[in-house]
Structure 1
Amino acid sequence: MRRLFLRAKAVLRDVLKPVTGAILGTIAVGLLRGTRYFNPDRTANFFASVTRVIGPWLPEHKIGRANLTAAFPEKIPAEIDAILTGVWDNLGRVGAEFAHLDHLWDLDPEHWESRRIEPAPGAIEKFIALRDDGKGALIFASHLGNWELPALAAPAYGLESAILFRRPNIAAVDRAIQDIRSVNMGTMIATTHDAPLRLAQALQKGVHVGMLVDQHFSRGVDVTFFGRTAKANPLLARLARQVECPIHGVRIIRLPNHRFRIDLSDEVNPVRDAEGKIDVQGTTQAINTVIEGWVREHPEQWLWLHRRWR
């Protein structure tokens, strides 16, 4: 009887999955499109106020608290709570800002004080150097600040770029997101089986390849992140081993009054083995060490809500 019940439950789940996916997809697409009709700053404030209230009631809040407590054992509970409030605030703002991606990037190097985007010291010079060196480059990013915005930086400076991304499971949401991202993000490459080959080919042609690298990757290599072992995606280091090219990190930090600061790291020197070839694990560790430094500067802007350590 129990086996029959479980079988019936599985069949019902399979039958309802397309229906629930369609419903959720319709809601998500409607929300994305509807948000575009409202002022982006007011919408970001509203979304942030909602996520600050709802977030602590969700299971991810418990994950975030455990992650922060382990990463910052010296912080008292009130400090942890303050960081978590900032995490939910940032997440709500990212959601609202996503619908306006094609309007947010307004960096003017000559008059950045009056614009939404400002460059960190030396950032513009670094972007120009990447553009003019005639080579491809590997650019890593993390879920810090607004992690969608870095993909807009390369086209803004005339860099040919290719961005690795993961498709949403719901087709309608995927189409809506691609419509928004396609405006000025360069070539978008989905995480399919042939993605590494396509990325390597892009690098060999002088394209600048970007990807987010700070989430758990079950088939990854071991790195130390905030003093604990975590699995990290080694794809960027493997591409560097295959196609020798510069490695940089890019981040967008959230500032007050709906403004952002873009920063490009100095070149990250890859770790090499005894034969002089790039060591995948060591280079992946070097990248994650840079990201840890970023997160320590702005812990309230990083996505602590996923199970980074398992």
Structure 2
Amino acid sequence: MSANTARSLPRTSDHRGPGKRPGALKTLRWLTEAGATWLWLRGMRALGPERASNLGGWLGRSLGPRLAVSRTARANIRLAFPEIGRTRVEEIVRACWDNLGRTAAEYAHLDRIMDPANDRVLYAGEEQLRPAIEGRQALICWSGHFANWEVLGCAAAQLAPRSVAIVRDPNNPYVARLIEGCRAIAGGERVNKGREASRRMMGAMRDKALLAVLLDQRLSDGIDATLFGHPAKSPSGAALMAVRRQVPMYPVRIERLGPARFQVNVESPLHPPQDSDRETCTRHLVDACNARLEAWISARPGEWLWQHRRFEKRMYRA
């Protein structure tokens, strides 16, 4: 394990910035969770990439479908694919938990996964990112929570001399620092989503960096859009940036080839429209991104993260 990952637990402070000091019980809970995470990473590291991924997959598909959050996964699948039967729904639930378990185990091996000498990550279409790879122009590459989604930020850091990945840090600051130690192996810059991320996205454009973002999760303050025909608040920051700066958005489809092995496909870019006002152009670009997400999910539903509430609350009540 890298020195960053194996380092001792951080000081008692919230990594997200100054604020109210956590109480003793919350701090104890955070420390307990961080200790368990540290032991998990150490144990997975000792197994090697394939065995760790396989164990994580087995744990995920064995335990995950029994958890309460799987009700959300089943509801999401039925909303997206109303025509499929119960047996197929359960197959997808087991597959998505298998993938999530593998991803959790693979955090301990991101350095080995991303090492070009190991051929664990294969690329197709990456030559389209050459303006950013050569440091001549800022570009945006985006994906969703497919296969091992951490590969996107790591790949951007390896391909381009300057990269910024927008990430979602765990709420537990101690766990967040352990995860950051795993993510940092490829270099580049990572910014937690929120106000700071919005400012840094603008800086990435000025710095002619490669910006990597995940666009498939629901944001309460996101733009009104649809996914699989249902209302789904969607992230719009990257699309707005693309419209403002007239920067193309490159869809990056990440597919799992096996335990700790992946294919990174850089697809043809989505160019920001210019035939209307900024808000309308942004909405059209978000719709195009969601349409691409639908195609990816439909093709390999077992590799997407179904366990979060992607649609509006009223859809789940219905």
Q: What TM-score results when the alignment is normalised by the length of structure 2? A: 0.85
How far apart are 1:22 and its partner, in Å? 1.6
Instruction: Specify the code of the residue in structure 2 equivalent to 1:119.
Output: Y
* Bigger mean CA deviation after superposition, 154-163 or 18-27: 154-163
How far apart are 1:29 and its partner, in Å? 2.2
Partner of 2:126: 124
Which structure has the greater CA radius of gyration?
Answer: 1
Instruction: Specify the code of the residue in structure 2 equivalent to 1:128.
Output: R
Partner of 1:115: 119
Change (3 A) 1:34 1:170: same
Partner of 1:152: 154
Whether the aligned pair in 2 keeps the contact of 1:272 and 1:278 (CA below 8 Å) is: no
* Bigger mean CA deviation after superposition, 288-297 or 151-160: 151-160
Whether the aligned pair in 2 keeps the contact of 1:270 and 1:286 (CA below 8 Å) is: no
Within 5 Å, give how 1:159-198 maps onto structure 2: 159-198=161-200
Instruction: Specify the code of the residue in structure 2 equivalent to 1:161.
Output: S
How far apart are 1:14 and its partner, in Å? 5.4
Whether the aligned pair in 1 keeps the contact of 2:54 and 2:259 (CA below 8 Å) is: no
Distance in 2, Cα, partners of 1:159 & 1:127? 12
Whether the aligned pair in 2 keeps the contact of 1:166 and 1:191 (CA below 8 Å) is: yes
Residue 47 of structure 1, aligned match among 41, 56, 59: 56
Residue 262 of structure 1, aligned match among 244, 260, 264: 264
How far apart are 1:273 and its partner, in Å? 4.6
Change (3 A) 1:242 1:19: same
How far apart are 1:154 and its partner, in Å? 2.3
Instruction: Specify the code of the residue in structure 1 equivalent to 2:159.
Output: Y
Give CA deviations for 1:181-226 in whole Å, capped at 9, x if unaligned: 1121411122242321221012112011111111010001111111
How far apart are 1:159 and its partner, in Å? 4.3
How far apart are 1:239 and its partner, in Å? 1.4
Distance in 2, Cα, partners of 1:85 & 1:101? 24
Partner of 1:59: 68
Partner of 1:283: 285
Change (3 A) 1:14 1:156: closer
Distance in 1, Cα, partners of 2:123 & 2:197? 31
Instruction: Specify the code of the residue in structure 2 equivalent to 1:210.
Output: A
Give the SS at the match of 1:138: strand
Residue 22 of structure 1, aligned match among 1, 25, 31: 31
Distance in 1, Cα, partners of 2:157 & 2:31? 34
Structure 2: unaligned runs, 5 residues or longer: 1-21, 313-318
How far apart are 1:15 and its partner, in Å? 4.8
* Bigger mean CA deviation after superposition, 50-59 or 26-35: 26-35
How far apart are 1:83 and its partner, in Å? 1.2
Change (3 A) 1:42 1:275: closer
Give CA deviations for 1:15-57 in whole Å, capped at 9, x if unaligned: 5222212211221122223322221111111111111111111
Distance in 2, Cα, partners of 1:275 & 1:54? 49
Partner of 1:253: 255
Percent identical across equivalent pairs?
31
Instruction: Specify the code of the residue in structure 2 equivalent to 1:40.
Output: P
Structure 1: unaligned runs, 5 residues or longer: 1-12, 109-113
Give the SS at the match of 1:279: helix
Give CA deviations for 1:280-306 in whole Å, capped at 9, x if unaligned: 222111111111111111111000111
Q: How many residues align?
A: 291
Runs (4+) of structure 1 moved beyond 4 Å?
275-278
Change (3 A) 1:124 1:221: closer
